[in-house]
Structure 1
Amino acid sequence: MTAILFKTATLFAATATLAAGTVLLTAPTAGARTTAAASNACYDGAWTYRKGAGYGVLPINGGVYRTTSRCADINIKADQATSLELCYSNPSDTRTTCKDYVTAKAGQWKVMGTNFKDGTRFWFNVAAIDTLKTGSIAA
């Protein structure tokens, strides 16, 4: 039995398996993306934040962020190590859920929560109220 994997620049793949004179071709759907490509699309759409001293919530204007179709997860990349908790409410109800406080290391993407519906409202409670905090959010 011989297996051959063909890969094209458009991320389509076909596998041909030869067994007893038969050929089986399989390919992912036309819209398939690799995990790396999906992550890049998510992070490429990130927006920046700036939390001044005296504020304990992001965004600081009392609003909320909303998830988009670019990302299935809520991610943060802090410019300074930051302890924070993710809070969110789904588009279809008003209940609020907050996760435990975690530390986002400086300069590294941190997944704060996974598998959110598009339009989910979210915000962060930040432990260091008296400290300037900056970074990026992708959701």
Structure 2
Amino acid sequence: MFGIGEPAGRIALATGLLTAATVTIGGIAASQASAAGCYDSKKFFEKKSGTTLVPQGISWFRTTSNCRDINVQSAMWMETGANVTVCFRRSGCQDRWTWIPAGGKGWKVVASNVKDGTDYRFEFASTAGWQGYRAE
């Protein structure tokens, strides 16, 4: 058998290292691609001043297969952040709030591992008007 110092051994070692590096890099690329695909399907929404629920009335948002979570990001022109919780049609509102920073500074997960086709809406802690994006 060839030792590591011999040409065939060096080729086998290099091939093994290259394969391991490719798997690791491929795994990172796949998860980033999945997140990017989720956010690529973002939808704009607006909360009118004087209200706390979006959407209002009998309307609900519905989760899709684009994302596993419900994500929120403020519009980049927003100068104030917001505390948001998610209310589900069947089970009511969550008991935790998530701070969404102003200025479109990144996505925040407001509900995790939500089934596709789930109806939901956002409840805001403030009645101030607010605009942002959702990805679900």
| TM-score bin, normalised by smaller chain | 0.7 to 0.9
**1:73 corresponds to 2:86:** no
**1:135 corresponds to 2:128:** no
Does the CA contact (< 8 Å) of 1:67 and 1:117 recur in 2? yes
Q: Which has the larger radius of gyration?
A: 2
Alignment equivalent of 1:46, drawn from 42, 47, 60: 42
- One-letter amino acid matched to 1:115: N
Task: Kindly indicate which of the two structures has a greater share of residues assigned to strand.
Answer: 1
Q: Please name the residue that 1:20 is paired with.
A: none
Alignment equivalent of 1:56, drawn from 52, 55, 74: 52
Distance 1:14 1:105 in 2: 35
Q: What number of residue pairs does the alignment pair up?
A: 114
Task: Kindly indicate which of the two structures has a greater share of residues assigned to helix.
Answer: 2
TM-score, normalising length from structure 1? Answer: 0.71
Q: CA RMSD in A?
A: 2.5
**1:57: how far off?**
0.2
**1:55: how far off?**
1.2
Q: Give percent identity, aligned residues only.
A: 28
**1:5 corresponds to 2:1:** no
Evaluate the alpha carbon distance shift between residue 5 and residue 62 of structure 1 in structure 2; reply closer, same or farther with a 3 A threshold.
farther
Does the CA contact (< 8 Å) of 1:72 and 1:114 recur in 2? yes
Divergent runs of 4+, >2 A? 4-7, 94-97
Gaps of 5+ in 1: 8-12, 16-26
Q: Please name the residue that 1:10 is paired with.
A: none
Does the CA contact (< 8 Å) of 1:87 and 1:99 recur in 2? no
Question: Which SS does the other structure have where 2:36 is aligned?
Answer: helix
Q: Please name the residue that 1:85 is paired with.
A: 85
